[in-house]
Amino acid sequence: MSPINLGNVTSKVFTGVSIGTYYLAVMASNGTDSSPYSDEQKIGIEILGLSVPTSFTASASGSSARLSWGTVSGAAGYKLYYGTTSGTYLGSLDLGNVTSKNITGVPKGTYYLVLLRQINGYF
């Protein structure tokens, strides 16, 4: 891999990194001279291993909604994101570690829902 100019910063977050093992080192430069490399760091990028919840269904009756989904092995819980426009979510509900939920007091309207699974405290 070719060197990457990070600019004048002391930290950097990279997204979209491919799965694999990487060996990293940094060096300082003033445009004319460069320092030796820092100590090398090894990092591994991997997928957390949880699958996406399947068989997610939602039905409404009056002001109640019934949600259900398939179990995700290893999940510690589930979170529901909801909104009135596709792709824009107004809020979320922690559903706990269950595979169905009845929600009451839902205002009349059309809702877009996304269900996420939790592992190690992260959704």
pLDDT of the chain along its 123 residues, tens only? Answer: 678 888 888 888 887 777 778 888 999 998 889 899 898 888 877 666 677 888 999 999 999 999 999 988 878 889 999 999 888 889 999 999 999 999 999 999 999 898 888 765 656
Distance CA 36, CA 53 (A): 48
CB 82 within 8 A of CB 41: no
pLDDT confidence of residue 28: 92
Computed on alpha carbons and rounded to an integer, the radius of gyration of the chain in Å comes to: 22
Going from the N-terminus, what domains does the chain have, and what CATH number goes with each? 57-118 (2.60.40.10)
Considering the entire predicted model, what is its pTM?
Answer: 0.57
3-state helix/strand/coil string of 15-46? CCCCCEEEEECCCCECCCCECCCCCCEEEEEC
How many CB atoms sit inside 10 A of residue 32's CB?
A: 5
Whether 34 and 27 have beta carbons less than 8 Å apart is answered as yes
